[in-house]
Amino acid sequence: MSETINIGSTADTAAPEEAAAVAEVRPLAEPAKRDAGGFVWGTGRRKSSVARVRVRPGEGKFLINKREVTDFFSEPQHRNDCLKALEATKTAGKIDVFVNVAGGGITGQSGAILLGVARALKGYDPSLEQTLRDLNYLTRDPRKVERKKYGQRGARRRFQFSKR
C-alpha cells in the first residue's frame, strides 16, 4: 500500500552486495499514531473559530459538539462544507467523526471543521493527502477581521466629512 524509496549512495567502484547493505528502505508516509480510543486527531482554524476533530473507523457518525451535523448547522451550505472532505475521499460511510468547535460564527466554524476533518483524514490515511491538497482542503484560510483604527468608525469606514 505504501511506496518505498531507497536512500543511500552507491559508488561505481562499490560491489552490489555493499550497495545493498548501505541502502536504507523507508516508507514515504506513515499513518499518524492513534490515541487510546483509536482516534486520529486534526485541528482546523478559520477566522476566530477552532475545531478539534477526532476520526476513527466506524459506520459514518458525524457529531459536532455532541449533536448531529443536521441539528448543529441549519444552512445546507455549512452542512456541505463539513462533509466535503469525506465525500472527496469517498470515506463518507466508513469513518466516524467527532468534532468540538468553539469561537466565531457559523461560517468560520464550518470552515474550521472542513480543515480539521481534512487534516485528520490525512493522518488516518496518508494516501488521501494528494486528493485533499488538490482540492485545497489542507490550506488554512489566513483571512481575519481587520482591526478598527482610532479616529474612524471602523476598520475602513470614516466619520462623515463636513466642510462647513
Between 29 and 158, name the one with better pLDDT: 158
| CB-facing half-sphere around the CA of 97: CA atoms within 13 A | 31
User: Where along the chain do its domains lie?
Assistant: 40-134
Residues 128, 100, 32, 48, CA torsion sign = positive
Which of 65, 68, 37 lies closest to 53 in space, CA to CA? 65
User: Could you name the CATH architecture of 40-134?
Assistant: 2-Layer Sandwich (3.30)
Tell me what pLDDT residue 26 has. Answer: 45
Please answer whether residues 95 and 124 qualify as being in contact, where contact means their C-beta atoms are separated by less than 8 angstroms.
Answer: yes
Distance CA(82)–CA(113), nearest Å, equals 6
**pTM attached to this predicted model:** 0.76
Per-residue pLDDT reduced to its tens digit, 113-128: 999 999 999 999 999 9
Which value, to the nearest 10 degrees, does the dihedral of the CA atoms of residues 69, 74, 80, 81 take?
A: -90
